[in-house]
C-alpha cells in the first residue's frame, strides 16, 4: 500500500512540476536589449533636462558675477536682480517639470516592459500548457528545466 501511495504521489508531483515554469526577472532587466533601449531612452530625456538646467545655472552665475563687479548703475543692478529672480523661478519650474516628466516616462517604460513580458510569458505558457509561471527569485529551489527566462529574453529582444 505504501508503494502505491508513494508512486501516486511521485506521479502527481511530476505532473505538477510540468505544469509550471519560472522566469528570472532580474536577469531580464540586466540582460535584455529591449530593457537597455528603454533605459537609454530614459537617460536621453534625463540628459536633456540636465543640460537645460546646467545652462540656466551658468546664466544665473554669470549675472551674479556681473552684479558683484559693482560697475553697474542702480537701475542696471535692479534689472539684473530681476533677471536672476526670473531665471531662478524658471529653473525651479523646469526642475518640477523634469521630475514630473521623468516619473511619467519611467512609469510608461516600466508598464510597457511589464505588459510585453506578461504577453510573452502568457504565450509561452499557452504553448507549453503551463498552469503558472512564477518569478524564480521567489523560489527556494527549482530545476533549471522550469526556467524559461532565456526564451522570454529571446522573444523580448526580438520584439524591438
Q: What is the pLDDT of residues 27-82, one digit of tens each?
A: 999 999 999 999 999 999 999 999 999 999 999 999 888 888 877 788 888 898 89
The CA-atom distances, in angstroms, between 5 and each of 1, 10, 13, 14, 18 are: 6, 9, 12, 14, 20
Q: What is the separation of C-alpha 10 from the centre of its chain, rounded to a whole number of angstroms?
A: 42
Whether pLDDT at 3 is above 60: no
**Percentage of residues of the chain with pLDDT beyond 90:** 70
- Tell me what pLDDT residue 160 has: 65
pTM of model > 0.85: no
Neighbours of 21 (CB within 10 A): 24
Task: Check if the beta carbon of residue 106 is closer than 8 Å to that of residue 42.
Answer: yes
The CA-atom distances, in angstroms, between 51 and each of 2, 58, 89, 96 are: 73, 11, 17, 15
Amino acid at each position: 500500500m505504501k508503494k502505491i501511495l508513494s508512486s501516486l504521489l511521485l506521479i502527481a508531483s511530476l505532473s505538477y512540476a510540468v505544469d509550471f515554469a519560472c522566469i528570472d526577472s532580474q536577469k531580464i532587466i540586466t540582460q535584455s536589449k529591449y530593457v537597455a533601449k528603454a533605459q537609454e531612452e530614459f537617460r536621453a530625456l534625463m540628459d536633456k533636462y540636465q543640460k537645460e538646467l546646467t545652462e540656466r545655472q551658468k546664466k544665473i552665475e554669470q549675472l551674479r558675477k556681473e552684479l558683484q563687479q559693482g560697475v553697474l548703475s542702480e537701475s542696471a543692478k535692479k534689472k539684473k536682480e530681476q533677471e536672476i529672480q526670473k531665471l531662478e523661478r524658471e529653473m525651479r519650474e523646469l526642475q518640477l517639470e523634469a521630475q514630473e516628466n521623468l516619473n511619467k516616462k519611467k512609469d510608461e517604460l516600466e508598464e510597457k516592459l511589464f505588459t510585453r513580458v506578461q504577453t510573452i510569458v502568457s504565450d509561452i505558457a499557452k504553448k507549453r500548457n503551463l498552469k503558472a509561471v512564477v518569478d524564480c527569485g521567489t523560489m527556494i529551489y527549482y530545476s533549471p528545466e522550469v526556467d524559461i527566462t532565456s526564451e522570454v529574453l529571446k522573444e523580448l529582444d526580438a520584439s524591438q
